[in-house]
Structure formats: C-alpha cells, structure tokens
Structure 1
Amino acid sequence: MQVIDWDLAVATGVRLVRPGPQVSREEARHAVQELRRLSREAEVHVQEFARINGAAAPVEATVVDRPGWIRANVDGFRVVLEPLTEKVNERRSQIPAIVGAVGSRVTGVEVGAVLAFLAARVLGQYELFLPPDPSGQAPTGRLTLVAPNIVHTERELGVVPRDFRLWVCLHEETHRVQFTGVPWLREYVRGQMTEFLLASDLDLGTMLERLRAASDAVADAIKGGEGNLIDAIQTPEQKEILSRLTAVMTLVEGHGDYVMDAVGPSVVPSVAEIRAKFQHRREGGSRLDRTIRRLLGVDLKMKQYAEGSTFVRQVVNEIGIDGFNRVWHSPETLPTHTEIADPTLWLTRVGTPKELPSPNGHS
C-alpha cells in the first residue's frame, strides 16, 4: 500500500507550478551554460576556504526547470519515506482499504501542491537522497540548480547576474563538500530522518487526532499565529528527534551561508549588495505567502540560516576555520540547539584544536 500516490503528486505539482520568467531561447541557453561553469568554479573557492578534505570529485551541476525540480524531489522523497512505507505495509490489516486508497491520493495532491509552491522559490540544493544508481557509478548526491528561479530572483533584486549566480553556487557547493567530505554526515542525517518517521503513531485514532491538530495549526497560521504543520503532527518522541535533526541542519545551512559570504568579497564583487537585497527579500512576501511559509516551516529554515551562520562566525573568530572543523569529527561534536544559541558552550565542551584531532586525523 502506498502512503503517497507519487504519480499524482508529480502530476499535481507540475500542473500547479507557476511558469518561470520570460526569457529567449538564447538567454536560457546562456544561463544554463553559465550556471554549470560557475558550479565548477565555486568548488575551487569552497575547497580552498572551507578546508574540508576528502570531498568527492566535483561534478557539473544539474540545471533544471521547475517541473524538473518537482520530479527530482519526488524521487528523493520516495527514498526517504521508504521506511515509513514498509511500516504501513506491515500494518495494512489495521487500516481499511478505502482509507488507504483515498488517503494516498489525498496526500499525493497535498505533496504535489507543496512542491508546486516550493518549486517557484528554491534556487538550488544538494540532493542527498537520490535513488541508488544500479551501476554503482553515479555519486550518491547531486548538486541541482533551478535556472528559472535564479533568473527571476536576480531580475527582481536588480543585481549583477554573474555575481548572483556564483553566490548561489557557493552555498550549494558548500553542501556538496560537507556531505561528501564528512564520511558519516549523510548517513547520520538519514538515520535521524528514518528514526523520526518510524516514531509515527499509525493507529486510526491517533491519525485523526493529528489531523485535528493540523487543522488547528492551519487556522492559527491564517490568523497570524505561529502554528505550523510540522509541530502539529509530531509525537513527543519525534519532537526530541527533530531537535537533533534541526540542530545539524541549522549547522550545515549556516555554514553554507557563512562560506558564501566569506568567500564572496574576493570572487563576487557585489556580494554585500546581494546579501542585503536577498535578506530583505527573504523577510518579505504577501500575507498569503508568509502564511504558507509559516505552515510549511519555511520560516524555520530562514531562522536556521541566521542562527547557524552566527554560530559558525563566532567559532571561526575564536579558534579559526581549522578549529571550527572539529565540528565534523563525529556526531558527538555536533552542536546542540543550546550550543548554537551560545557558541561558548560548544567551545567549552569540544575543546580547543590541540585537544581534539580534526576530521581528517590531523591535530
């Protein structure tokens, strides 16, 4: 039994997503070529600055349109949700067939609508969870850039296109370096996500209770409150797991933001202008846009960028980039939520560079 009707999710997302900006065939071709080239250029800058050794050999970014991003993310979702699908199938006798059939189609439409909303906003991402390559030759992750969104945003902000495109590539390339250069990080994140999914309550009564909570969250968000769907549908155990997962994602997102701005001045002349305009854009949007962002937890992601970047900046200022890189030594050296808010706690717990070997085995 499917938890989500994936084909319907793709069809819904592709149908609902807004078209990209109007560009000529030549402009589109140039944007795609430049993004691919800049993704390779960004790799050199990130490696030199971040000093995380062992990253996989760079591969040219995959450049997609909005429907392409939707299809790619559905592939990734199917991989991530596989443990939950297996759990549901083990309990299929407890769930009436009609409930399962209708439920998978309802969630398919819902997922498609969410993807349509996000597909018009995401500039790029490092896709961690792609279906395994049968040949075993393809890398485990993929750097993806959404060309229409990058072009739309640079026009909206009125910034230098080449500078903005490289700036975006620097952030996403940092994620590629993180997840391929730190051997345990990808499986740690996947393990936490699997643990989160398997902590779900799947009996019918609990599912109905979660739906009521989700409805209350929607009503609260529409009224301008802080309600969001992620909080509404969690079990107590899931909240504890999500705290760990959010902490590590705050770190990797903040590190990406820190690197893109720190590298920026030497290779992106207008980086200060781009950051100021982009930050203002992040905080804006219509009331409906802000409500949906709140419901989906997108505002939480924006907060992660800021908190994570502040943590990285303070630690690097205190003990340098090599000292900061102790954070990648093991899951035990990752900062907690509390330590991200107060970096001195992490510095005290983890120690100075001479007390702890680096993730590459050097002191």
Structure 2
Amino acid sequence: MGDTPFGFNRPSDDEGDGTPGRDPFGMGFGGGVPGSGDMNQFAAMLRQFADMLSGMGTPSGGGPVNWEMVKNIARHVVVEGGDPSIVAAERSQVVEALRLADLWLDEGTVLPAGITTPQAWSRSEWLEATIPVWEKLVDPIAERMVDTMGGAMSGPGGELPPEMAAMAGPLIGMVKQMSGAMVGGQAGQALGALAREVIGSADIGLPLAPGGVGALLPAGVASFAEGLEIPSDEVRLYLALREAAHQRLFAHVPWLRPALLSAVEDYARGIRVDLSGLEEKIAGLDLADPEAIQEALGGEIQLTPEETPEQKLALSRLETLLALVEGWVGTVVADSSKDRLPSAGRLAEAVRRRRATGGPAERTFATLVGLELRPRRLREAEALWRSLTELKGAEDRDRLWSHPDLLPTADDLENPDSFLNPEELELDLSKLHQTPAPEEPGADGPDSPEGK
C-alpha cells in the first residue's frame, strides 16, 4: 500500500526488505514508525509541539480560529503601514458628508435613509467594527482546513499504525490547532492589508458595519483621491453617497444582508484545501528548530473551488446579487449627483476601474475564501437599473427589492430585453401585491448577520 498523507504508513508498509516505512511527518525518527524504544522520543516530540502551539492561543467560543490573534496580527500590519488618529476636523467633515449624502439620495430613491450613526473610522477602528462579520465568513474555511488536516493525519480510512494509536490522538488535536492558527495568521495578514486600502464600511459590497452605522475612513478617502485632480470635498461627498446608498439597501431590504453573507458562506463551504505544499514543508521538519516551524506555518494556504453544481450555483448567486447591489448603488448615486457634483462621471469611472482591476476586496477574498469577489456583470446590472428607472420610475424600480424573486436573474443581466418587456414587467410588478416579503431568518433583527 502507498504512503498515507504526511508520511504515515501502516505497519505492513515497508520498503520491500522488512524495513518500516518513513516516520510520521518525517520528523526525526529516521528508521520509521517508532517502536517501544522510541516512545519517549515521540512523547518528547509531542510536548515540543504542544509548547510551540501554546503560543498561538486557543480559539474562544468553540470556533476553529483564535480571533484575538487575528486582530493582533491585523493591527500589527495596520500600524506598520501607518494609522494616524482622526482629528476633530476630519471627523466633522465625514459626518457632514454622510448627512448631506442622505439628503441628496432622498431625491434618487424611495428607500429611506439607513444611517442613524455616521462615523469616521481609523483603520484600526474599521478592523474592530467589521471583525464579527469576517468571523462568520472565514470560519467555514477554517473548519474545512481543520477537518482536512485531521483526516490527513489519520490517513485513508482514519487508521493509524497500532504503535502510535494511543498517542496519536493528542497529536491530531495539535495539528488541528495548528491548522486553525494557520488560517488565523493568514486572515490577520489579509485583513490588515485590506484595512490599509478600504474607503468605507460598504465599498466591497458586503454589509460589514453594525446596523445603522455608515462610515468612511479619511485615510482611505485621501488615498482614493490621489492622482484624480478633483477637490477633496467633492471626492468625499461622492464616496459618502455610495456609502449611504449601500446602507439604505442593507437597512430596508431585510432579506439582503443574510442573503449576501449566506451566499459567501455557501461558496466557502465548497472550497477544497490544497495541502500538497504544506506536506512538502512538513516533511523532514525538525521540531527542535522554532524558526523552521514558523517558516513552515507561515505560508499561504491554497484554496481551490470545487467544480460541483452546488459550488457553481453559489458562485452565480453571489456574483449576480453583488452586481445588482453595486449596479443599483451606481444608478442611484448617478441620479443624485449628476447636477450637483461636476466630477461625478469621472469619480464613477474611477470606482469602476478600481473594482475591475482587482482592488483590495478581490485580493482579500481570494486569500480568505478562495473567491475573486468581482461582480462581473456590473455594467450590465447598472444599465438594467437605468433602463428600469426610465421605464417605470424610481418607485417601481425600488419596489423590486421587496422580494428576491422579483429581482433580475443572471440570465436577465445577460439578456435584459425580456425582463424589460413592458408586459412582462407589469406582470412582475403585479406580484408585489400577492407575494409577502420574506422574513429574515433568526431572531436577531434585520441589522444582525446572526439571523441565518
């Protein structure tokens, strides 16, 4: 029989001359699976491994990742890049821009304001406020990583050589903790890098902020404005319009928040964890060398989507919903700013370029959940919302958000003529009087992502 993952061989797996196969993890047993004379050495290895893992922290709340460790790593990344405190004048500018944005949006949409608490965030404050949602998005991947590594430790069929069975349980538990720490380290690095680039709480298209909160990061706004040669107050107000428009959807379309988050989670559950690179690093690893251990654990985990029907459906659902959200926001902001902001068109194109070329959101999601978070049909969605506005007006357009079944589908974005057919559109709008809005799952209220 062939080698099991990470070098575990069954007792019958020899080299053809009666010599036992290679040792577990290739970690210093040379001759193969330890016999009774090597058990003390094996026990010492476990103790060294446990000491190394103790510095990684223990996950709280029963999840696979220690999120305090994630926050500490992310904060370190943020501080390295600079995170100046927000002065009173900056805070006042952001709050005023968000309030003015909501006044302007009243003329572009019938959905009422969603921001009750306008805020200006530093990069560290963005981390603190958004970690609860990231936890929900990353934990499914971490669980798959933990399960995959635990299964690999046991080998096919979950069997281990009898000589090691009594002691392997603690080792498997340690490896699972190690895998959770690896995901946590990767998440901390990714979120720290994202915090250095984001503009607000909703510029990646997902509801990351607590309910009722709308926020911009002055540092992110300043970075976005670089090279545009547009007055900073105009840039700030345009970005405030986008933030406020997102919050109207998240606050007053009760099914949208859980639908977006569950679509990401469903996609993440179909990710396959590629351990081949990790096996190569672990083979021959010396537990007595902390630097070698840190280097082996510091690499990036490779996440590969599984091409299953469920995975493709989850991806299509997520991409379509993101495109519809972003397209609606773009349409409403364009209507609200066209006669007020001279550079609205240039700013809109700058936002599109940022998304199309793979900005911080795309890189972060590729790292954390193996997904390039890019609404590929964004222009089609915006064109469809624009046509709906011209055909039926803002009120009927926005009423389509009252139920997910009324929204355009992926096919509608690709071939909008049928959806925009006046007769078909009248028929769809008539369903509004017959179809109750879906209740948000759970009992935490529409502003909580917990109701799933």
TM class by shorter chain equals: 0.7 to 0.9
Contact 1:122 1:146 survives alignment (8 Å): yes
Q: Which amino acid aligns with 1:233?
A: P
1:46-94 Cα deviation digits (max 9, x unpaired): 23211125x55x3132221122222322222224456778899999986
Instruction: Give how far 1:32 is off.
Output: 1.8
Question: What corresponds to 1:311 in structure 2?
Answer: 384
Contact 1:254 1:308 survives alignment (8 Å): yes
CA–CA separation in structure 2 for the residues paired with 1:290 and 1:52: 27
- Quick check: which one's helix share is greater? 1
Instruction: Give how far 1:200 is off.
Output: 3.9
Instruction: Give how far 1:165 is off.
Output: 0.8
Structure 1 position 61 matched with structure 2 position 125: no
Q: Specify the SS of the correspondent of 2:63.
A: coil
TM-score normalized with structure 1 length: 0.73
Identity of aligned residues (%): 20
* Residue of structure 1 aligned with 2:102, choices 43, 58, 62: 43
CA–CA separation in structure 2 for the residues paired with 1:291 and 1:330: 28
Question: What corresponds to 2:160 in structure 1?
Answer: none
Structure 1 position 233 matched with structure 2 position 295: no
Structure 1 position 323 matched with structure 2 position 382: no
Instruction: Give how far 1:102 is off.
Output: 0.9
Instruction: Give how far 1:157 is off.
Output: 1.9
CA–CA separation in structure 2 for the residues paired with 1:310 and 1:265: 16
**1:298/1:143 Cα in 2 relative to 1: closer, same or farther (>3 Å)?**
farther
Contact 1:315 1:343 survives alignment (8 Å): no
Question: What corresponds to 1:249 in structure 2?
Answer: 322
Q: Specify the SS of the correspondent of 1:62.
A: strand
Instruction: Give how far 1:272 is off.
Output: 2.8
RMSD between superposed Cα atoms in Å: 4.0
* Residue of structure 2 aligned with 1:14, choices 47, 58, 75: 75
**1:324/1:37 Cα in 2 relative to 1: closer, same or farther (>3 Å)?**
same
Q: Which amino acid aligns with 1:19?
A: G
5+ residue gaps, structure 2: 1-61, 154-171, 279-301, 435-452
Contact 2:330 2:348 survives alignment (8 Å): no
Q: Which amino acid aligns with 1:142?
A: V
Structure 1 position 33 matched with structure 2 position 105: no
Q: Which amino acid aligns with 1:311?
A: L
Instruction: Give how far 1:6 is off.
Output: 1.6
Instruction: Give how far 1:352 is off.
Output: 2.6
CA–CA separation in structure 1 for the residues paired with 2:178 and 2:75: 21
CA–CA separation in structure 2 for the residues paired with 1:266 and 1:42: 14
CA–CA separation in structure 2 for the residues paired with 1:16 and 1:108: 14
1:302-329 Cα deviation digits (max 9, x unpaired): 6454343223223323333233224313
**1:187/1:295 Cα in 2 relative to 1: closer, same or farther (>3 Å)?**
closer
Q: Specify the SS of the correspondent of 1:11.
A: helix
TM-score normalized with structure 2 length: 0.60
Q: Specify the SS of the correspondent of 1:192.
A: helix
CA–CA separation in structure 2 for the residues paired with 1:211 and 1:33: 50
5+ residue gaps, structure 1: 131-138, 213-228
Contact 1:3 1:104 survives alignment (8 Å): yes
Instruction: Give how far 1:282 is off.
Output: 5.6
CA–CA separation in structure 2 for the residues paired with 1:7 and 1:172: 28
Q: Which amino acid aligns with 1:192?
A: A
Structure 1 position 75 matched with structure 2 position 136: no
Contact 1:123 1:147 survives alignment (8 Å): yes
Contact 2:328 2:381 survives alignment (8 Å): yes
**1:279/1:241 Cα in 2 relative to 1: closer, same or farther (>3 Å)?**
closer
* Residue of structure 1 aligned with 2:250, choices 179, 182, 187: 179
Question: What corresponds to 1:107 in structure 2?
Answer: 183
1:139-184 Cα deviation digits (max 9, x unpaired): 6353221111102222432211111111001111111111222232
**1:85/1:141 Cα in 2 relative to 1: closer, same or farther (>3 Å)?**
farther
Question: What corresponds to 1:338 in structure 2?
Answer: 411
Q: Specify the SS of the correspondent of 2:215.
A: strand
**1:337/1:210 Cα in 2 relative to 1: closer, same or farther (>3 Å)?**
farther
Q: Specify the SS of the correspondent of 1:144.
A: strand
Q: Which amino acid aligns with 1:10?
A: K
Contact 1:182 1:328 survives alignment (8 Å): yes
**1:194/1:360 Cα in 2 relative to 1: closer, same or farther (>3 Å)?**
farther
Contact 1:46 1:263 survives alignment (8 Å): yes
1:200-236 Cα deviation digits (max 9, x unpaired): 47xxxx6447989xxxxxxxxxxxxxxxx77x33452
Q: Which amino acid aligns with 2:256?
A: L
CA–CA separation in structure 2 for the residues paired with 1:93 and 1:295: 24
Question: What corresponds to 1:225 in structure 2?
Answer: none
**1:64/1:341 Cα in 2 relative to 1: closer, same or farther (>3 Å)?**
same
CA–CA separation in structure 1 for the residues paired with 2:329 and 2:242: 5
Question: What corresponds to 1:224 in structure 2?
Answer: none
Contact 2:406 2:428 survives alignment (8 Å): no
CA–CA separation in structure 2 for the residues paired with 1:360 and 1:5: 48
* Residue of structure 1 aligned with 2:230, choices 159, 170, 189: 159
